[in-house]
Structure 1
Amino acid sequence: MTAHPLDPLSEDEIREVARILRREREVTRPQWRIASIELVEPAKQLVREFRPGDPIERRARVVLWSTETGSAYVAVLSLTTGNEAGEENTVESWQPNRAANPTPPWTSGTTATGPCAPIRRFSRRWPSAASTIPSWCWSTSGPTART
């Protein structure tokens, strides 16, 4: 049980998010990838008025994408309304995220492409050169992903 409305999502809540997405939207690997799961913060007024023991409405925002179509989505899920009513927790909203590019072309396949491709290809021929490559070229969260 959460002690405060702004506490991060617990391990159980993150598992519940995955369970809801599997049940309601058939989100499973390898067809889907989840980029992030985060707490939807309640309104400031609710946080200010919160007293220990008060019921807390918990919601999660999920960014995910289809590996088949490359389409990104943002979902908002309720983690508490179903528990109170004896019903299942549900997906409250499911919106395409056209602004996101979750699958950059250099993250798939075996050929190094993207802004660091020449550097990475060079380092495979001369491994001693790898120490001079900026760390973000090997990062899985930076401008490129290691291929």
Structure 2
Amino acid sequence: MADLVFVYGTLTDDAQVAALLDSYRVVGEAVCVGFKRVDGRYPTLVPGESVSGRLLETSEIDRLDRYEGVNRGLYHRVSVSLASSLTASVSATTAEVYLAAPNVIGLGSLEEYWPGEGSFRARVDRHLGATHIERIS
């Protein structure tokens, strides 16, 4: 079964995706509402207005997890809801998104970017209700 993944950094480059994945499909350009991109050692998303990227479909989510350093604690994979206008055309209700804690990628403290209390993952989980992904082309 294939997963949808919203990408906003190096994986928006066709050559990079082709070098990493054996099987994928570019679904189209998209915007993730409720997040903005910030750049440290690597890019990540934090609460904000919106960020442009693209949707990929792949059955190689484990390979993406390795690339994004999920097992090393570099990035965390979360599910973000798709706008209803998008769900019918992709037969899914969510897309996976990779987020890094700001302090892990050299951006400063967690509190500067993620309001509230608790762990990074708890703060992200609370914010996910205010986010969704829309197709733009």
The verdict on a shared fold, with TM-score over 0.5 as the criterion, is: no
Q: Which category describes the TM-score, using the shorter chain as reference length?
A: under 0.3
Answer 1 or 2: which has greater strand percent: 2
Higher Cα Rg, which structure: 1
TM normalised by structure 2 equals: 0.23
Work out which structure has the larger RCO, using CA pairs closer than 8 Å and 6 or more positions apart in sequence.
Answer: 2
